[in-house]
């Protein structure tokens, strides 16, 4: 700059004069314009926001609908002893009033989710600001700010999608809810509605799901675990992630200390408590029965009501008998299947590479942590020697000796199994039964098993009511839901014969002492092409026995005598009696019906045999006793039915004949039960179906064994060999604790000594005389001369 008073040097830029007043005015005007613009934007934004709020407010439903809110509830099915047999639900929810939720549990949820719940009006501005700061500092969303009221609004009226519009709607609804409901109402609704993982909605359902106890039985740590779930039910699930659940519970306990609900000492003591989780549930007992109940009530009330309506269904099933039935069917089918031979490993790696074997072991999702005697478990072969295979089973090692796998080649060929090397390789995935669990340093001892490809069914009913006490519809419901006790129609074979004898007894012209000649017969029939077909029926033994009393014929299941008896009584009459007793399936109106050619269900046969056991009174099967709605109102009730279908004296005489089947006939194995029992075996051509239908004075039980593919069970797999080994252990368990009783003798039944060879009254000096039972008025009038008892009556072979 040049000195004052001197002209500027050539080329220099002249200095501009300072104008401070004009510049300050420009700044003020610019600031004023900016403030005006911001104010205008604020007004416009507020107006837009107000309009948006007003629009959303007009669209939102009335919160008053919450007063009539009926959440989806669990339908519970109860067994006869009052225990819960099963549940139907979309959302597992058990509603309880707030007064029944412990204050400790309430405080835990408030501390974790909304500590100022009782102070705010549905929206907590401080919490929003606090969460915003923490999220900014963390560089992401680490804390939410929704109040419990907002969560109720979201869960009941809105989607879970995180959007600005939803947050506005949530705030509006929360404000409305706070105006119309008390804090206690809101908290109670929240604690019964919140999703807590594992399909459980509400604290009561969650307590039962995770801990197997109701909320009033939870300790402080368990309360903290539940209160930590709303943030992320899957991530903090104690069942799936116990370590995370405990860490989250620690946070809840610290929040309880901060809010003054707990002292630091109380929180520390709670954190040291053990986490007592509900053990894994056993396989569903009574699954076939439960599915039958579901189908039945859905026909009346619909799927939505059954799965959301909170019905209470009381049934007839006896849990103890059901467990015995399932165990008997599974064990029996395994034994029949073993006689058919081994089908090989479930998976074969084809290598003894330890790495690949370990990968197979890790991949098993059904691997048991602990072993118990009798348990069926998967096993992977590690090594094979001439005497045994070393397997991995459970968490340790096991030994499978050759003696426990000799059945692999099938019945009668056990001697072929000399060494496990004949059939096993390292890397084979097997199924084994634990004989001895072993222990530290001691390998388990196991036996080779395989899952049967056969099926079976068992149905047990109370003789006096028809109540279904046990129902098994197949080997495994998880494998196949088809209920063979109710749905499968199969040929009954000789199990149909008692209905023919019932019709004969009812006719009045036949008695157990009546004699029919067991001799060859043949029938001619012309088909559509006018070709003559000849039917020559035979007995199981392919032999003929000459004059045969009806008791002996039924006892040994003689086909020829039964056909001739049906021919004499009349096919139409036999069908009528069978239908009255309980057979509703179509029956062929020809003589092949005598051999059980028409297919029936196990339930039909069980009901019919039950009518014989009940003295000629049919009790239709009873499964559901009552149904109540969520408020306890009775929707339906069912009592036993009773229809007289046979005269009491005929029923008793037939029962007596069926007792002989057990004492000295095809059902002789059942004598092991050690009490009065009657029954009948049944076997169809080529051993496709095997049956045993039996009853005591109290219980009637039917068993069927067969294949869904209708293939042969194997040579000589009769009802006596395949079905009785299921029936007998089940009934032994079923009658345990029940006093033994005899079949009552009704009026109209008389007894007389007869000559067993001639079927007439025995003379006074007849050493072979036997006592026979008759309907009054049907006792033979002729008397036989002295004659020795006929040989062959103790034959124990046949169908």
219 and 354 in a common domain: no
Inside any domain, residue 634: no
pLDDT of res. 711: 96
pLDDT of 187 above 90: yes
Task: Judge whether 233 lies within some domain.
Answer: yes
Taking residues 583-592, what's their average pLDDT? 96
Q: Indicate whether 387 belongs to any domain.
A: yes
Chain mean pLDDT for the chain:
88
Residue 729 lies in a domain: no
CATH of the domain at 405: 2.40.50.140
Q: Which residue numbers are catalytic? A: 113, 494
- pLDDT, one tens digit per residue, over 466-520 is 999 999 999 999 899 999 999 999 999 999 999 999 999 999 889 999 999 999 9
Residue 541 has phi, psi (to 5 degrees) of -85, 0
Confidence of residue 524 (pLDDT cuts 50, 70, 90): confident
Cα–Cα distance between 255 and 225 in angstroms, integer? 13
Lowest mean pLDDT segment, chosen from 20-29, 308-317, 330-339, 368-377: 20-29
Same domain, 267 and 350: no
Based on the domain organization, do 377 and 248 belong to the same domain? Answer: no
**Statement to judge: residues 263 and 379 lie in one domain:** no
**224 belongs to a structural domain:** yes
Within a domain: residue 588?
Answer: no
Average pLDDT on 515-532 reads 83
Q: So what's the pLDDT on residue 795? A: 37
Q: What is the CATH number of the domain that holds 103?
A: 1.10.3810.10
* Domain tally, the chain: 2
Q: Model's pTM, two decimal places?
A: 0.82
Residue 653 has pLDDT above 70, yes or no: yes
Does a structural domain hold residue 141? Answer: yes
Contacts for 614 with CB less than 8 Å, ≥ 6 apart: 463, 464, 651
On whether both 112 and 235 belong to a single domain, the answer is: yes
Confidence band for 361, pLDDT divided at 50, 70 and 90 = confident
Quick one: 236 and 119 in the same domain? yes
Between 277 and 221, name the one with better pLDDT: 221
Angle between helix 242-258 and 103-113 (nearest 10):
90
Same domain for 100 and 198?
Answer: yes
358 and 262 inside one domain: no
Helix 497-507 to helix 602-613 angle, to the nearest 10 degrees?
40
3-state secondary structure of 538: coil
Res 797 pLDDT > 50:
no
Which tops the pLDDT comparison, 533 or 755?
Answer: 755
Last residue of a domain, one of 245, 271, 297: 271
The pLDDT of residue 124: 66
Q: How far apart are CA 574 and CA 592, in angstroms?
A: 12
Residues 257 and 397 grouped into a single domain = no
- Would the CA dihedral through 467, 469, 474, 476 be positive or negative? positive
Q: Is 552 a domain residue?
A: no
Last residue of a domain, one of 207, 239, 271: 271
Mean pLDDT of 356-382: 86
Mean predicted confidence (pLDDT) in 6-12: 44
Mean pLDDT, residues 680-686 taken together: 96
- Clarify whether residues 245 and 352 are in a common domain: no
In 3D, which of 423, 426, 405, 422 has the Cα closest to residue 414? 405
Nearest to 502 by CA among 554, 541, 539, 540: 554
- Interatomic CA distance for residues 315 and 77, integer angstroms: 7
Predicted local distance difference test score (pLDDT) of residue 527: 66
Residue 159 in this model has a pLDDT that exceeds 80:
no
> What domain range includes position 120?
96-271
* Last residue in a domain, options 449, 464, 495: 449
Residues 237, 107 within the same domain: yes
Stretch 441-453: mean pLDDT, rounded? 95
Question: Do 246 and 359 belong together in one domain?
Answer: no
Beta-carbon contacts of residue 581 (< 8 Å; ≥ 6 apart): 499, 502, 607, 608, 611, 612, 618, 645, 646
80 forms beta bridges with none
Q: Which residue has the higher pLDDT, 748 or 527?
A: 748
pLDDT digits (tens, 9 = 90+) for 53-111: 554 444 555 556 566 666 788 899 999 999 999 999 888 888 999 999 999 999 999 99
pLDDT given for residue 218 in this prediction: 95
pLDDT at 144 over 60: no
């Amino acid at each position: 700059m040049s000195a004052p008073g001197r002209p500027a040097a050539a080329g220099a830029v002249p200095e501009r004069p300072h104008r401070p007043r004009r510049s300050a005015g420009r700044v003020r005007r610019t600031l004023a314009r900016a403030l005006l613009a911001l104010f205008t934007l604020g007004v416009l934004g507020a107006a837009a926001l107000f309009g948006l709020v007003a629009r959303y407010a007009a669209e939102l439903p009335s919160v008053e609908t919450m007063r009539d809110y009926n959440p989806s509830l669990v339908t519970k099915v109860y067994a006869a002893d009052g225990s819960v047999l099963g549940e139907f639900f979309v959302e597992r929810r058990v509603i309880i009033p707030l007064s029944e939720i412990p204050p400790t549990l309430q405080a835990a949820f408030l501390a974790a989710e909304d500590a100022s719940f009782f102070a705010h009006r549905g929206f907590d501005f401080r919490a929003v600001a606090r969460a915003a700061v923490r999220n900014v500092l963390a560089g992401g969303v680490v804390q939410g700010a929704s109040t419990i009221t907002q969560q109720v609004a979201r869960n009941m009226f809105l989607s879970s999608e995180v959007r600005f519009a939803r947050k506005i709607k949530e705030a509006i609804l929360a404000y409305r809810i706070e105006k119309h409901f008390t804090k206690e109402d809101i908290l109670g609704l929240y604690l019964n509605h919140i999703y807590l993982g594992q399909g459980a909605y509400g604290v009561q359902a969650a307590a039962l799901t995770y801990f197997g106890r109701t909320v009033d039985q939870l300790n402080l740590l368990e309360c903290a675990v539940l209160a930590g779930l709303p943030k992320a039910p899957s991530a903090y699930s104690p069942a799936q992630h116990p370590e995370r659940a405990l860490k989250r519970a620690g946070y809840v306990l610290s929040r309880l200390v901060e809010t003054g609900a707990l002292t630091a000492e109380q929180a520390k003591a709670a954190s040291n408590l053990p986490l007592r989780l509900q053990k894994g549930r056993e396989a569903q007992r009574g699954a076939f029965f439960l599915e039958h109940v579901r189908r039945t009530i859905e026909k009346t009330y619909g799927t939505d009501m059954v799965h959301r309506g909170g019905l209470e269904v009381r049934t007839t099933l006896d849990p103890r008998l059901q467990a015995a039935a399932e165990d008997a069917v599974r064990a029996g089918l395994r034994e029949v299947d073993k006689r058919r031979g081994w089908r090989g490993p479930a998976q074969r790696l084809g290598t003894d590479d330890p790495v690949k074997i370990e990968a197979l072991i890790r991949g098993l999702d059904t691997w048991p942590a602990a072993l118990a005697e009798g348990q069926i478990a998967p096993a992977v072969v590690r090594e094979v020697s001439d005497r045994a295979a070393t397997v991995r089973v459970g968490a340790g090692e096991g030994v499978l000796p050759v003696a426990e796998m000799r059945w692999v080649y099938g019945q009668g060929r056990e001697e072929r199994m000399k060494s496990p090397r004949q059939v096993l390789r390292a890397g084979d995935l097997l199924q084994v039964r634990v004989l001895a669990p072993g222990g530290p340093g001691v390998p388990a001892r196991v036996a080779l098993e395989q899952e049967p490809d056969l099926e079976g069914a068992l149905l047990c009913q109370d003789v006096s009511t028809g109540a279904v006490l046990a129902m098994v519809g197949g080997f495994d419901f998880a494998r196949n839901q088809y209920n063979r006790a109710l749905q499968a129609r199969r040929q009954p074979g000789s199990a149909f014969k008692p209905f023919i004898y019932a019709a004969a007894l009812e006719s009045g012209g036949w008695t157990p002492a009546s004699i029919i000649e067991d001799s060859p017969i043949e029938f001619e029939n012309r088909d559509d092409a006018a070709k003559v077909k000849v039917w020559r029926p035979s007995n199981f033994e392919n032999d003929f026995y000459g004059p045969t009393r009806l008791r002996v014929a039924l006892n040994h299941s003689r086909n020829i005598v039964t056909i001739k008896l049906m021919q004499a009584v009349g096919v139409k009459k036999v069908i009528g009696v069978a239908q009255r007793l309980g057979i509703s399936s179509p029956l062929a109106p020809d003589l092949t019906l005598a051999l059980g050619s028409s297919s029936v269900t196990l339930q039909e046969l069980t009901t019919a045999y039950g009518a014989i056991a009940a003295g000629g009174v049919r009790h239709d099967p009873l499964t559901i006793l009552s149904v109540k709605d969520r408020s306890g109102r009775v929707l339906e009730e069912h009592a036993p039915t009773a229809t007289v279908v046979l005269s009491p004296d005929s029923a008793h005489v037939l029962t007596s004949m069926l007792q002989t089947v057990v004492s000295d006939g095809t059902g002789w194995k059942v004598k092991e039960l050690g009490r009065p029992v009657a029954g009948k075996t049944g076997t169809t051509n080529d051993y496709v179906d095997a049956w045993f239908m039996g009853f005591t004075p109290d219980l009637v039980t039917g068993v069927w064994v067969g294949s869904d593919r209708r293939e042969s069970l194997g040579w000589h797999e009769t009802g006596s060999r395949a079905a009785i080994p299921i029936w007998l252990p089940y009934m032994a368990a079923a009658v345990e604790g029940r006093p033994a009783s005899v079949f009552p003798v009704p009026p109209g039944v008389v007894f007389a000594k007869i000559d067993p060879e001639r079927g007439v009254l025995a003379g006074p000096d007849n050493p072979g005389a036997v006592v026979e039972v008759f309907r009054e008025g049907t006792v033979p009038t002729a008397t036989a001369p002295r004659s020795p008892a006929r040989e062959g009556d103790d034959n124990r072979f046949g169908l």
